[in-house]
Amino acid sequence: MDERLLRLPFEFDENDKLGSWDVLLSEDAIKDMRQLESASVINAVIKELVHISSGAWDKHGLRDVQSDAAPVYEVKLFDNLTILWQVDCGFSVRSNRFMQLVKIWAVTANQEQVNKKSENISMVYQFCNAAHMHRCTVQQAGNRGIILPKVFDDEEEMVTKYTSEVNMDEEKLLEVHKMLITNKFTPLSKVNVQKIYFIIHYTIA
């Protein structure tokens, strides 16, 4: 059996053709992608995700800011399909270190869903301390305007303190809890792309 078929979802190799940025897919984003109409559409989405991983954001027109409260951006594709993504930081299983990374929150043509998710991300950032906000700030580095992720020395530097001094109703607090605690993210890799392709082909068939 081809040993590549035995790779775990979070394993990477040179065939993944990813750039410096880890791209993490939220549970909602994966659900969105599984509902896409065809393989050609998901091909276009994957191409944009690879562009995001490259760090050539200005070159590919990827930095259309959606929110002033958090580093959240959106990419508009055909038929109003939108990729909503955020710069955050955490542990990279690909690089085995703590660094900035990209979280994909939605891949949808439903603008109401995009607005709601952006609002939820902004709520989350009301609980974050200034140090975390600073860690998520992007900076331009490298050649040809490529934006590189910041790398942090150790886990202690990554610790985020959340404040409880935010006045929110229970429904909004539950949304914040879901995004901070219960939401699971899956790293973008060739293995995961193949899984999504399989589900789409199986559904269409």
Model pLDDT, residue 144? 78
What is the SS3 assignment for the chain?
Answer: CCHHHHCCCCCCCHHHCCCCCCEEEEHHHHHHHHCCCCHHHHHHHHHHHHHHHHCCCCCCCCCEEEECCCCEEEEECHHHCEEEEEEEEEEECCCCEEEEEEEEEEEECCHHHHHHHHHHHHHHHCCECHHHHHHCCCCECCCCCCECCCEECCHHHHCCCECCCCCCCHHHHHHHHHHHHHCCEEECCHHHHHHHHHHHHHHHC
Q: What percent of the chain has pLDDT over 70?
A: 64
Q: Confidence band (pLDDT; 50, 70, 90) for 202?
A: very low
Model pLDDT, residue 104? 94
User: What's the pLDDT tens digit per position in 153-199?
Assistant: 766 555 554 545 555 566 665 665 566 666 788 888 765 666 665 54
User: What's the pLDDT tens digit per position in 97-147?
Assistant: 889 999 999 999 999 999 888 888 887 777 776 777 778 888 766 667 789
Q: Confidence band (pLDDT; 50, 70, 90) for 10?
A: very low
Extents of the domains making up the chain:
18-193
User: Is the overall model pTM greater than 0.85, yes or no?
Assistant: no
User: What's the pLDDT tens digit per position in 37-50?
Assistant: 777 888 889 889 98
